[in-house]
Amino acid sequence: AALGISQALAKTGAAAFLAHHLVDAVAAFGVMGLLAAVYLATSVMTELITNNGAAALMFPIAFTAATEAGHDPIPFVVAVAIAASASFATPIGYQTNLMVSGPGNYRFTDFLKVGVPLNLLIMVTALIAIRLGWSF
C-alpha cells in the first residue's frame, strides 16, 4: 500500500508540494538542517508504520527536497534508509518490538524511555557519518 501511495505522491505533485514546504521551513538551517528534518520526519513515521512504508513514503519527498535545494539527493536517500530502519521508540514500529512487548510485560512508555534516546543517538551518528561521507 505504501508503494502505491509513494507513487501517487510523486505523480500528483504532493511530494513536490511537501518538499517545497520542508525546504522553506528549514532554509535558515542550511543543508544539515534539511538533512536533519528529512531524517526526523522519517524517524517519526517509522515509529507509526512499517519501516518499508516509511521509506517508500519519504523517498520522493526527500529526493525532491534535495533536488529543489540544489543538493545531491543520495545523502538524503541514505538518511531516509537509516531513519526508516531505526524504529526503537514504540512497540508498533517494528515486528520484533511487538513480539517482545507482551512476554516482557513492557509498556508503551518503556519503549519511549529507551527508544527515544537510542533514536537520537543513531540520528546524530548517522548525520555525522553522512556529512563526512558526502560533500555538500
For residue range 29-65, list pLDDT tens digits in order. Answer: 999 999 999 999 999 999 999 899 999 999 999 999 9
Q: What is the model's pLDDT at position 23?
A: 94
Range of the domain at 76: 2-133
**Is pLDDT larger for residue 11 or for residue 73?**
73
Helix/strand/coil for 84: helix
How many independent structural domains does the chain possess?
Answer: 1
Spatial separation of the C-alpha atoms in residues 14 and 18, rounded to whole Å: 6
pLDDT tens digits along 72-124? 999 999 999 999 999 999 998 888 888 999 999 999 999 999 999 999 999 99
Q: Does position 14 have pLDDT exceeding 70, yes or no? A: yes
CB 2 within 8 A of CB 50: yes
- The pTM assigned to this predicted structure is 0.90
